[in-house]
Amino acid sequence: MTSLTIWSSPSYDPTGGSSTNHIMYGGWQSFAYETLVGVSLGNSNGWQQPPSSGLAGAAFEIETHRGPLAVQWTRGNAAAFALSARLSAGTQAEVCVPLLGRALSAVTILDGAPPAASAVVWAAGKPGKKNMAGIAAASANASIGTVCFHCGEGTYDFF
């Protein structure tokens, strides 16, 4: 049987044993926040690199049971990338900044409003200064091309 809708069950039961009039799990929202913005709710990874389709940026905000979660990224020239994340009270997240093809040793990542209030959180292939506000740890994964920061509640502006 061919269908022109989204069933509530992954398999169609022609005997009528399953409901076929719901759009459960069929919305576009998960595509938007997982693929375009890189937000992964739960224990799976979001995207490792921003979409290469020519998007200059994307933004997403969702209300969670602990409060709002907001992520926004913009891409300028080949080496310019900015990522902002706002985490609600009592939450933690792994926030990953893509290397965009650059070597770890050639990447410097700052956190904070540029330029005066920013702090170096990654430089020359290693984490920046100790006790970075709200950042418990920083690590790199060269094979997937990211530098990740384990962040607690707060607002982070990586660039």
CATH code of the domain in which 99 resides: 2.60.420.10
| Within a domain: 104 | yes
Range of the domain at 111: 49-158
What one-character DSSP code corresponds to residue 78? T
Rounded Cα distance between 25 and 100, Å, is 32
| Within a domain: 24 | no
Rounded Cα distance between 88 and 85, Å, is 10
| Within a domain: 96 | yes
- What pLDDT does 144 receive? 81
Number of structural domains the chain divides into: 1
pLDDT single digits (tens) 131-143: 577 888 888 888 8
115 or 100, which is more confident: 100
Residue 62: both structure tokens together: 């969702």
Give 15's pLDDT tier (boundaries 50, 70, 90): low
Task: Look up the pTM and report it.
Answer: 0.74
Helix (H/G/I), strand (E/B), else coil: 111: strand
Rounded Cα distance between 38 and 43, Å, is 13
| Within a domain: 35 | no
| Within a domain: 97 | yes
Rounded Cα distance between 65 and 79, Å, is 36
- What pLDDT does 86 receive? 92
pLDDT single digits (tens) 19-74: 555 555 456 666 677 777 777 766 555 555 666 667 888 888 888 888 888 989 88
| Within a domain: 90 | yes
Rounded Cα distance between 138 and 132, Å, is 10
Answer whether residue 8 shows pLDDT above 60: no
| Within a domain: 28 | no
| Within a domain: 9 | no
